[in-house]
């Protein structure tokens, strides 16, 4: 579809449901051939798109653009707002270049958002702190607007426009984090994504024609959706395609949580009788695009399409035992202008950087001294990866694309012969992530008590933003945002010491707690070691 729309219909922009700042790395590749497309795709932080099929799409865009016969190049954009670090870094970097005084005033609030470890914690912080962060970003936006001419004279209009949009992404992110647990939170995200698409089109100029790729629920014109906002802005100049299928396979996060499977392939049976999907299959369609605008205005066909029929409402997660829950009655012509139907699907093929595994729940702490397993390999019993994906309890199972290494080490252990090490060399990195080493255990033995986490940690890190953190979480049940009843991430006391030092965190474990998480994180470049971990009932708490 993209190849046809670009080659035959003059489309110039491809937009995907992924955070805008990181998507500029892919745009650099499709326009100039510079950079590493595999790492840039992983750096989007969306495992859903990190597949061979999307990689092929990016490579086709690159081949199209490098053909000298194509004077109008096709560009790659993201329009989502789910991650803050890159947006915060780009905003601060621009201010430092054009207005050091303004940058200094903004750093206090924005630096926590520029840190991938602390930025995700905004959702669990107090309303007062969230409002103060939003106010600081509002000040930055006002400063960018009020001093626009001065800033542009110091850089150019393109740099100013991108800096302002990065600051706008930050404002959207903070608003979403403050409303994510409410029904309005999901509608807010759709409104913001629509705003970002409008910005892209305005930025690209009046001749731009854009393909937007997102979940059915976002592109539909149902109340509060991204598609509804865009319909209001563009009217009949926008054509909305929905997607449906009868049977086959797909990849999704396995639920309920916690699940050690993470992302895997699922296969579903043919759609039930009377559903939209089954009816289209029964009509003999195997691959079809149906123009819903051309349906008859009256008669049996019109009556059938104007009535609600169940159709799948699949997202990024799936529970095989609750498959019936994905079927929702919809009057499809009210939501889409056209419908693409596939009778039988095959699952997307994940790239190495897109493989996501869950965190298994252990009965109790294991391998706390890191003596088990092979030297130079990952420590058995521990989850190694990158920060959890937004909204899902999974970690990326490969670190190559983010340049992290997580192994056992015999370099000056605190006790015994080994410790565990997280490392990343200096240089350009794609995406905004931190290395993670952690365990999740059942809370039952600690319920009604206090738990004390102890660990020895040392680092070799230099420069701002490079540091390690020890953390302890106590959670009632998996959810998003998590129902965490105790959380200490040591966010206000990062570890940068080069000598072994013992740290401890003590937390309450209520009677209804289900899981306890703990571990070490490395942000930025350098190395961090952990050894002599203990998780015990705090006798002093009785």
Mean pLDDT in residue range 427-443: 91
pLDDT band at residue 386 using 50, 70 and 90 as cut-offs:
low
**pLDDT band, residue 538 (cuts 50/70/90):** confident
**Per the structure block, which two tokens stand in for 98?**
């054009």
Lowest-pLDDT range of 8-17, 87-96, 128-137, 139-148 = 128-137
Tokens, residue 105: 């005033």
Instruction: Report domain 2-80+201-237's class.
Output: alpha beta
Calpha distance 501→488 (Å, rounded): 18
**359 pLDDT band (50/70/90 cuts)?**
low
**Confidence band (pLDDT; 50, 70, 90) for 393?**
very low
**Residue 542: is its pLDDT beyond 50?**
no
Residue 44 CA to residue 13 CA, distance in Å, equals 18
pLDDT, position 288: 96
pLDDT in tens, 179-209: 887 878 889 999 999 999 999 999 999 999 9
Residue 158 confidence (pLDDT) above 90:
yes
Note whether 2-80+201-237 and 359-541 share their fold: no
Q: Please indicate whether residue 70 or residue 354 has the higher confidence score (pLDDT).
A: 70
pLDDT at 67: 97
Contact 427, 483 (CB under 8 A): no
Q: In this structure, what DSSP letter does residue 412 have?
A: S
Distance of CA 497 to the CA centre of its chain: 31
Angle (CA) 183 20 1, round 5°? 95
Q: What is the pLDDT of residue 19?
A: 93
What is the CATH code of the structural domain delimited by 242-345?
3.40.1660.10
Mean pLDDT confidence for 418-431: 94
* Helices assigned H by DSSP within 127-182: 127-146, 148-154, 157-179
pLDDT in the model for residue 259: 62
pLDDT one-digit tens code per residue, 27-79: 999 999 999 999 999 899 888 899 999 999 999 999 999 999 999 999 999 99
Q: Residue 414: is its pLDDT beyond 90?
A: yes
Fold assignment, 359-541: Jelly Rolls (2.60.120)
Render pLDDT for 444-459 as a digit per residue (tens, 0 to 9).
999 999 999 999 999 9
Q: What φ, ψ does residue 343 adopt, rounded to 5°? A: -70, -45
Work out whether strand 75-80 and strand 13-19 pair parallel, antiparallel, or are unpaired.
Answer: parallel
Q: Is residue 435 over pLDDT 70?
A: yes
**Residue 503: closest CA among 494, 512, 511:** 494
Which residues, in sequence order, are bridge partners of residue 455? 503
Residue that has been written with the tokens 């984090």 in this structure: 177
Share of residues in the chain with pLDDT > 70 (%):
94
For range 99-115, the mean pLDDT: 92
Average pLDDT along the chain: 91
Residue in this structure with the two tokens 């109790």, named with its chain if needed: 364
Helix (H, G, I), strand (E, B) or coil at 329: strand
Q: For residues 259 and 394, give the distance between their C-alpha atoms in angstroms, rounded to a whole number.
A: 9
Please indicate whether residue 326 or residue 356 has the higher confidence score (pLDDT).
326
| CB neighbour class for 437 (10 Å; exposed up to 12, middle 13-18, buried from 19) | buried
Contacts 24+ apart (CB under 8 A), 194-197: 194/226, 194/229, 194/230, 194/233, 195/168, 195/229, 196/20, 196/79, 196/80, 196/81, 196/165, 196/168, 196/169, 196/172, 197/15, 197/79, 197/226, 197/230
Whole-model pTM?
0.93
CA-closest candidate to residue 395, choices 114, 42, 96: 42
Which pLDDT score is estimated for 93?
A: 96
Q: Bigger pLDDT: 539 or 467? A: 467
Residue 43 exposure: Cα atoms within 13 Å on the Cβ side: 25
Give the pLDDT of residue 523: 94
**% of the chain residues with pLDDT over 90:** 75
Average pLDDT over residues 216-222: 96
Cβ–Cβ contacts within 10 Å for residue 387, how many? 21
pLDDT tens-digit readout, 243-283: 999 999 999 988 876 566 678 899 999 999 999 999 999 99
Predicted confidence at residue 25, as pLDDT, reads 97
Q: Name beta bridge partners: 1.
A: none
Cβ count within 10 A of residue 9: 9
- Looking at residue 358, its pLDDT comes to 66
Residues in the chain: 542
Q: Would you kindly state where each structural domain of the chain is located, as residue ranges? A: 2-80+201-237, 85-181, 242-345, 359-541
Which pLDDT does position 46 carry in this prediction?
87
Element (H, E) at 92: helix 85-98
Compute the CA torsion angle 331, 334, 339, 341 (nearest 10 deg): -10
């Amino acid at each position: 579809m993209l190849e046809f729309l670009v080659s035959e219909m003059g489309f110039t922009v491809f937009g995907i449901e992924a955070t805008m700042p990181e998507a500029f790395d892919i745009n650099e590749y499709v326009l100039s051939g510079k950079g590493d497309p595999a790492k840039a795709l992983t750096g989007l932080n969306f495992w859903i798109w990190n597949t061979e099929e999307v990689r092929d799409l990016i490579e086709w865009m690159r081949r199209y653009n490098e053909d000298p016969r194509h004077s109008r190049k096709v560009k790659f954009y993201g329009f989502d707002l789910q991650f803050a670090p890159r947006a915060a870094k780009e905003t601060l970097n621009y201010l430092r270049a054009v207005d050091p005084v303004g940058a200094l005033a903004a750093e206090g609030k924005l630096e926590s958002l520029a840190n991938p470890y602390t930025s995700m914690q905004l959702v669990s912080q107090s309303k007062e702190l969230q409002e103060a962060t939003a106010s600081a970003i509002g000040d930055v936006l006002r400063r960018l607007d009020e001093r626009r001419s001065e800033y542009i004279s110091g850089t150019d209009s393109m740099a100013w426009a991108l800096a302002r949009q990065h600051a706008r992404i930050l404002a959207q992110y903070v608003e979403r984090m403050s409303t994510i647990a409410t029904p309005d939170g999901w509608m807010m995200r759709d409104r913001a994504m629509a705003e970002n698409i409008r910005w892209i089109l305005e930025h690209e100029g009046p001749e731009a024609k854009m393909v937007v790729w997102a979940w059915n629920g976002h592109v539909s014109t149902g109340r509060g959706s991204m598609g509804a906002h865009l319909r209001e802005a563009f009217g009949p100049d926008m054509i909305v395609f929905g997607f449906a299928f009868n049977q086959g396979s797909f990849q999704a996060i396995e639920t309920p949580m916690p699940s050690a499977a993470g992302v895997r392939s699922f296969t579903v049976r043919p759609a039930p009788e009377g559903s939209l999907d089954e009816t289209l299959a029964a009509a003999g369609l195997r691959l079809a695009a149906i123009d819903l605008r051309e349906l008859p205005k009256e008669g049996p066909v019109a009556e059938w399409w104007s009535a609600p029929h169940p159709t799948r409402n699949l997202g990024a997660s799936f529970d095989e035992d609750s498959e019936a829950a994905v079927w929702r009655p919809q009057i499809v012509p009210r939501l889409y202008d056209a419908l693409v139907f596939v009778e039988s699907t095959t699952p997307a093929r994940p790239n190495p950087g897109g493989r996501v595994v869950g965190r298994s729940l252990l009965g109790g702490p294991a391998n706390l001294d890191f003596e088990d397993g092979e030297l130079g390999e990952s420590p058995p019993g521990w989850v190694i990866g990158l920060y959890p994906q937004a909204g899902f309890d999974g970690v990326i199972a490969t670190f190559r694309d983010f340049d992290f290494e997580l192994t056992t080490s015999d370099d000056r252990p605190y006790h015994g012969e080994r410790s565990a090490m997280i490392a990343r060399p200096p240089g350009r990195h794609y995406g905004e992530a931190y290395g993670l080493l952690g365990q999740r255990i059942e809370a039952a033995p600690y319920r009604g008590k206090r738990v004390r986490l102890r660990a020895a940690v040392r680092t070799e890190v230099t420069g701002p933003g490079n540091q390690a953190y020890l953390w302890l979480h106590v959670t009632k049940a998996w959810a998003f945002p998590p129902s965490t009843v105790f959380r200490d991430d040591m966010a206000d006391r990062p570890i940068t010491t080069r000598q072994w030092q013992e740290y401890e965190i003590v937390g309450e474990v209520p009677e209804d707690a289900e899981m306890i998480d703990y571990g070490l994180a490395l942000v930025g470049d350098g190395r961090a070691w952990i050894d002599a971990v203990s998780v015990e009932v705090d006798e002093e708490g009785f």
